[in-house]
Amino acid sequence: MINWLKTEWQNLASKYCNNTLAEELWAEIETNYTQKTRHYHNLAHIHNMLLQAETYKTEIKDFEALQFAIWYHDIIYKSSKKDNEDKSALFAEKRLKSINFDSKRIENIEKLIISTKKHELAIDKNRDNAYLLDIDLSILGSDWDTYQTYISNIRKEYIIYPDFIYKPGRKKVLKHFLDRKTLYFTDVFRNKYETQATENLKKEIELL
């Protein structure tokens, strides 16, 4: 997986910078996503998202921008903080400027990253934002065994919080998703994951 990810990154970044800088940026990405505190928001998550994005490539207007958004959307992640997405967006802006990526596209990438904070659309002129959010939350619609592993890994990331703090907070997040008109923004993800995701969320709430 690591070798595949490194190759994917270099193929993308090398279009805009030399191999040395691409290598430096990769090392930075790898270091951040392999921190010991990351049990879900790690390179496996990025790997899964990139693979899914490839499946819907023809539906996405600016595929490279979406790829960069995936790479950087969780680059900053501390469970004790509430500004991870904002910091990740700023981080992405600085790094993408260093490779002379188009400024307007960088702005869109920042919006895409920040949209993952509340999982609400920030860009509605195309379906890129919708696909990013749906891919990011596709885990919610996985089979129960996979979902259990997911919630176990999330709990590990929030291990600093005792149950009496974690459980109410987690319930609030899950109920927020259930209260939405739909969990997913695209028809393909609604058809594929909506029913199972709703069942999983309700089941997790019962277990909390």
Interatomic CA distance for residues 46 and 33, integer angstroms: 9
Using one digit for the tens of pLDDT, what is the confidence trace for 139-161? 999 999 999 999 999 999 999 99
**74 class by beta-carbon count within 10 Å (0-12 exposed, 13-18 middle, 19+ buried):** buried
What does the pLDDT read at residue 93?
98
Q: Which of these three, 136, 163, 198, is where a domain ends?
A: 136
Judgement on whether residues 148 and 132 belong to the same structural domain of the protein = no
Q: What is the pLDDT of residue 29?
A: 98
Longest dimension (CA), the chain: 52
State how far the alpha carbon of 60 is from the alpha carbons of 66, 67, 100, 136, in Å: 8, 11, 22, 15
Instruction: Please check whether residues 77 and 166 belong to one and the same domain.
Output: no
Last residue of a domain, one of 80, 104, 136: 136
Helix 84-98 with 103-115: angle, nearest 10 deg: 160
Q: How many domains does the chain have?
A: 2
pTM summary value: 0.97
- 111 with 162, same domain: the answer is no
Q: Are residues 103 and 203 in the same domain?
A: no
Do 128 and 150 have their domain in common? no
Same domain? For 125 and 160 the reply is no
Are 127 and 28 in a shared domain?
yes
pLDDT of residue 145: 98
Q: Is 74 helix (H, G, I), strand (E, B) or coil?
A: coil
Range of the domain at 152: 144-207
Residues 98 and 15 in one domain: yes
Note the pLDDT tens digit of each residue in 179-191: 999 999 999 999 9
Q: Are 63 and 109 in contact (CB under 8 A)?
A: no
Contact 60, 127 (CB under 8 A): yes
Rg (CA), the chain: 17
Q: State the CATH number of the domain containing residue 102.
A: 1.10.3210.10
CA separation for the pair 28, 190 (Å, rounded): 35
Last residue of a domain, one of 136, 154, 186: 136
pLDDT for res 169: 96
Rounded Cα–Cα distance for residues 135 and 50 (Å):
9
Q: Are residues 53 and 97 in the same domain?
A: yes
Distance in angstroms (rounded) separating the CA atoms of residues 85 and 117: 6
**pLDDT tens, residue by residue, 118-141:** 999 999 889 999 999 999 999 999
Residues of the chain with pLDDT under 50: none
Listed residue (120, 128, 126, 89) closest to 182, CA to CA: 120
Residues 91 and 132 in one domain: yes
Instruction: Verify that 111 and 163 share a domain, yes or no.
Output: no
Q: Are residues 66 and 129 in the same domain?
A: yes
